[in-house]
Amino acid sequence: MLYPTPIAKLIDSFSKLPGIGTKTATRLAFYTIGMSDEDVNDFAKNLLAAKRELTYCSVCGNLTDEDPCAICSDETRDKSVLLVVEESKDVTAMEKIQEYRGLYYVLHGLISPMNGVGPDDINLKSLINRLRDDQVEEVIIATNATADGEATSMYISRILKPAGIKVTRLARGLAVGSDIEYADEVTLLRAIENRTEL
Amino acid sequence: MLYPTPIAKLIDSFSKLPGIGTKTATRLAFYTIGMSDEDVNDFAKNLLAAKRELTYCSVCGNLTDEDPCAICSDETRDKSVLLVVEESKDVTAMEKIQEYRGLYYVLHGLISPMNGVGPDDINLKSLINRLRDDQVEEVIIATNATADGEATSMYISRILKPAGIKVTRLARGLAVGSDIEYADEVTLLRAIENRTEL
């Protein structure tokens, strides 16, 4: 016997989470046992509720507990701009700046030729359908500044441009607060290319 | 709105675990939503079961789902030796080596003068009561090799020795597989003092 069954099972559950090995899982399981009854009950309840109540918005693909999501059903938002992101977490990141007032579209993945992920493997089809009969005038592509993000960005812009939709993407340049000394060459190159007048 | 309520609550629950900040909690919460229904149900069930079914053994203080625990109620174990550890996890560490066949005693803490933790604040009283009418001949102190561990070890040995009980503690020396070059001075000193004949 190593651990009593209840804790062994809990360790096993924690181990299934990403980045959590057996040692950390053991520490978390033992910590959980020391937590208040209320906190543990809430934890279990929240796990089940999140799994049960969350769904993807049928309009934008964002994670939501009501369909359509709060953003899509918000009448005050600008329906002429659509910001395309990889995942729901990116929507939250954009919402945090409290500046963007348009709508979103979540791809749930990026085109990744290296990993065999093509345009049909991500949530792209309904984007094209949506643009066909919608009042969208500009699509802002906000995929990560990685190879896959660029590939996806290129693909989307090539499909949308012939349809007469303005396609833009987030600016590339120096991150605010960063040192030029530590910036990589490609970032510096983009920062020079896209320099702005003062 | 940042996250839908169900996921915000789940993030909050994950954040209560040690070493998990908001960013990691968010990652774990999103990952959980992508897990199978079965895994999430099991996770919630295991949380509640661990909290509900686990208790401390009334004999040795070890974490258990039956009282007395599997080790205390195992008739084949040597009742003349008692190994004193700080916490339940240490019992598991010792059991893993599959060599020790005596019983355990879990202190649930260490005497720590620096943090104001005295002998009355840890599970010491019942150890002394137990030794009074038990058949224990040797007490092996297996507290951590830290200042608090040493303080606790000294305290216990001073109480037990006058009662005619043999008190030993785990050997200090080089960890197996370690380099002398990187060993600290105190460890090297102990290693020389406690050298063994070949």
Under DSSP, the state recorded for B1 is -
**Contacts A–B by Cβ distance under 8 A:** 152
* pLDDT for the residue numbered B83: 93
Across the interface, whether the CB atoms of B39 and A13 are under 8 A apart is answered: yes
Orientation of helix A147-160 relative to helix A125-132, angle to 10°: 30
Q: What is the mean pLDDT of residues A47-54?
A: 92
Q: Which residues pair with B117 in a beta bridge?
A: B112
Query: Among A7, A45, A60, A63, which would you mutate to test the B interface (most chain B Cβ atoms within 10 Å of its Cβ)?
Result: A7
The tokens for A181 are: 């000394």
> Per residue in A59-110, pLDDT tens?
999 999 888 999 999 999 999 999 999 998 899 889 888 889 999 999 999 9
A18 touches chain B (CB under 8 A): yes
B58 touches chain A (CB under 8 A): no
B55 touches chain A (CB under 8 A): no
> Per residue in B26-49, pLDDT tens?
999 999 988 999 999 999 999 999
In chain A, which among 138-167 make CB contacts under 8 A with chain B?
none
Helix (H) or strand (E) holding A105: strand A102-106
Report which of B167, B173, B175 is spatially closest to residue B193, judged by C-alpha positions. Answer: B173
Residues B108, B143: Cα–Cα separation, whole Å: 11
Across the interface, whether the CB atoms of A32 and B54 are under 8 A apart is answered: no
Q: On the CB side of A128, how many CA atoms lie within 13 Å of its CA?
A: 15
Instruction: Give every residue of chain B whose pLDDT is below 50, as ranges.
Output: none
Q: Cis peptide leading into A119, omega within 30 of 0? A: no
B107 Cα to chain A: minimum distance (Å) = 15
The tokens for B12 are: 């909050």
Across the interface, whether the CB atoms of B9 and A46 are under 8 A apart is answered: yes
Collect all residues with Cβ–Cβ distance below 8 Å to B169 and sequence separation of at least 6. Answer: B140, B141, B142, B143, B153, B157
3-class secondary structure, A183: coil
Confidence of residue A128 (pLDDT cuts 50, 70, 90): confident
